[in-house]
Every structure is written in structure tokens, then in C-alpha cells.
Amino acid sequence: MRIVVMTGAGISAESGIPTYRDEDGLWTQHNMEEVASRKGYLEDPQRAADFFEKLREAKQGKAPNAAHYALAALQNRDHEVTIVTQNIDGLHQEAGSRDVIEMHGSLRDMYCDTCTRHAGVYAYPEHLDVASAVCFSCAQTGTLRPDVTYFGEVPRRMGEIYQALFECDVYMAVGTSGEVQPASSFMIFAQGYGAKAVELNLTRTDVSELYDIGWYGPASNVVPMLVGDFDNLLEKVLDS
Ligand code: NAD
């Protein structure tokens, strides 16, 4: 069985990392257009770098929770499981997941907007001073930035993601509001090519009725419970 698991900010909420759109989410405190859009970044690259620096600080000391570990365990079963995440926190890898597709990049790394090369974590300073930082690949000054996808930019590895969606039997969305494109259309794409779609979220979302089946509650309860009884889950999903 081929399974694509798409995760969003909700899977990391119980690790202490705030989501974007919930009541205490990051967009209640920050202007998304200013700090995390392509336009905002071009207006003021340092403002965007400072915002992601705060996220990097906030991520310090945060550990994967039971939901991340359960998905890592699922990858070690008989099924072919592709994990695609919108998250930039690296917690899937810390829990032991392999080959995670980080479509929105990662807080670990830097990226050069001129030569489009990814600089390794070893080069990411504690404080990124955009104006003076020099890319060691193309020697440009002022073009290094966090290796994250800003709103208005194309996410990473889209070819691999659509191939996995095209081939999968089951598509599972975990802890995502379904409001950010293109991730929000993945379910429609996978369903269109014959997959069953499963939603796991704290509560029902605006797109819940489009899924074939859903389970609701905190990810750290629901994901391990379903992974623990995965064959039963698959039977229910395929019958839905
Ligand atoms: P979102 O904030 O739009 O939605 C979060 C979803 O998680 C909501 O539907 C909410 O009901 C659900 N949720 C909250 N707590 C939960 C829990 N304990 N268990 C299960 N579900 C829970 O987030 P999104 O849909 O992922 O939006 C996408 C954007 O958020 C992406 O661009 C992503 O990069 C970014 N983001 C990432 C992180 C991170 O790396 N941890 C944190 C915040 C935002």
C-alpha cells in the first residue's frame, strides 16, 4: 500500500511550537505579508530574517511528540510511506523519519537568492545580518536568507510530491487547516487519481467534508492510536 502523509503546523503544536492560524497562532501577533511573503522579504530582507530567527529561537529545546514518533514507526512497516511536511521545524527527522519532503524548507538552513544554492546549517550564524553576510558559493553580499518558502514563492520538490500523490492509495492530512496552497489541493489531486483521503485534525476544518473519512482530537493521541491499529484503519478507509 502506498501512503502519502502530509503534515502541517498542528502536528507540532503539542511540542510547543505555535501554529499559524489558530487563536494563539503566529498570525495573530505578526503581519504575515510583512514577515513571510516574497513581497515583504523584498521590501525588507532583514525584517524577514529576524522573524525566522525568532522562530529558530522558539524551536530551541522543543522535541518531537508521540505523533511524530508514530509516523516514523509507520515508515518501518510494510507500507511505502512518503512524508511531506509544510513544517520547517525538522521534528519529523528528529523523531527518526526518513526522506521527509520539506516543501516549505527548513529553519536549519540558509539559501542564497542569487545563486539559489542551499547553504548548510554549519554556515547559519546565530544572527543573520543580511546586509553583510556573503554567500560562500557565489560571493554575493546581501542575498543570504532563511531556507524557507515565503508566501508567493514556489514550494520545494513539487515534482516528487505530485508523483507520490499520483501513485498513492491513501492520502492522510495531519494537523493542517487546508488553507495554504498548493498543499490544500493535494487531497483533491490524490483523490482524483483514485486515492482515499483521510483527515486527522484537532477539530473539523472548512474542508473536512471533502475527505472520505476523518478522525478528530489531539495529534499526539489520534496519530499513535491509528498507526497502532493501522490495518484496521486501512480497512475502514478503503470501505469509506
Ligand atoms: P495552520 O496554522 O493553518 O493550521 C493548523 C491546523 O492544525 C489547524 O487546522 C488546527 O485545527 C490543527 N491543530 C492545532 N493543534 C492541533 C493538535 N494538537 N493536533 C492536531 N491538529 C491540531 O497550519 P498549516 O495548515 O500547517 O499552515 C500551513 C503553514 O504553516 C505552512 O506554511 C507551514 O510552513 C506553517 N507553519 C509551520 C510550523 C512548524 O514548522 N511547526 C509552525 C507554524 C506554521
| CATH number of the domain that residue 118 is part of | 3.30.1600.10
Residue 131 to residue 29: CA distance in whole angstroms: 26
Asked whether the predicted pLDDT for residue 121 surpasses 80, the reply is no
Domain residue limits at 56 = 18-61+106-148
Find, among 155, 180, 142, the residue nearest to 42 by Cα: 142
Q: Are residues 130 and 215 in the same domain?
A: no
- Active site annotation includes 104: yes
Asked whether the predicted pLDDT for residue 32 surpasses 70, the reply is yes
Q: Are residues 11 and 27 in the same domain?
A: no
pTM comes to: 0.93
CATH number of the CATH domain containing 96: 3.40.50.1220
Please give the radius of gyration of the chain, using alpha carbons only, rounded to the nearest integer.
Answer: 18
Q: Are residues 143 and 88 in the same domain?
A: no
> Taking a C-beta distance cutoff of 8 angstroms, is the pair 31, 51 a contact?
no
Q: Are residues 91 and 31 in the same domain?
A: no
Label residue 77 by pLDDT band (50, 70, 90): confident
> Among 60-64, 90-94, 132-136, whose mean pLDDT is lowest?
132-136
> Taking a C-beta distance cutoff of 8 angstroms, is the pair 73, 5 a contact?
no
**CA 37 to ligand 1 center in whole angstroms:** 17
Q: What is the pLDDT of residue 14?
A: 97
Atom of ligand 1 nearest to the CA of 178: 25
Q: Of 90, 120, 148, which marks where a domain is finished?
A: 148
Find, among 57, 1, 27, the residue nearest to 180 by Cα: 27
Q: Is the CB of 21 under 6 A from ligand 1?
A: yes
Q: What is the pLDDT of residue 19?
A: 83
Q: Are residues 91 and 23 in the same domain?
A: no
Q: Is the CB of 8 under 6 A from ligand 1?
A: yes
Label residue 122 by pLDDT band (50, 70, 90): low
Q: Is the CB of 184 under 6 A from ligand 1?
A: no
Label residue 22 by pLDDT band (50, 70, 90): low
Q: Are residues 230 and 159 in the same domain?
A: yes
Q: What is the pLDDT of residue 18?
A: 84
Asked whether the predicted pLDDT for residue 27 surpasses 70, the reply is no
Q: What is the pLDDT of residue 197?
A: 96
Which tens digit of pLDDT belongs to each residue from 149-208?
999 999 999 999 999 999 999 999 999 988 888 888 999 999 999 999 999 999 999 999
Q: Of 148, 171, 206, which marks where a domain is finished?
A: 148
Q: Are residues 75 and 172 in the same domain?
A: yes
Q: What is the pLDDT of residue 30?
A: 80
Altogether, the residues listed in the chain come to a count of 240
Closest protein CA for atom 22 of ligand 1 = 10
Q: Of 148, 180, 209, which marks where a domain is finished?
A: 148
Which helix (H) or strand (E) element contains residue 119? strand 118-119
Q: Are residues 33 and 97 in the same domain?
A: no
Q: Are residues 80 and 56 in the same domain?
A: no
Q: Are residues 7 and 40 in the same domain?
A: no
3-state secondary structure of 199: strand
Is the Cα dihedral 120, 125, 130, 133 positive or negative? negative
CA end-to-end distance (rounded Å), the chain: 16
Find, among 10, 164, 166, 12, the residue nearest to 84 by Cα: 164
Q: Are residues 210 and 127 in the same domain?
A: no
Q: Are residues 38 and 23 in the same domain?
A: yes
**CA 17 to ligand 1 center in whole angstroms:** 9
Domain total for the chain? 2
Label residue 25 by pLDDT band (50, 70, 90): low
For residue 21, which amino acid is it? R
Q: Which distant-in-sequence residues (6+ apart) come within 8 Å of 228 by Cβ?
A: 70
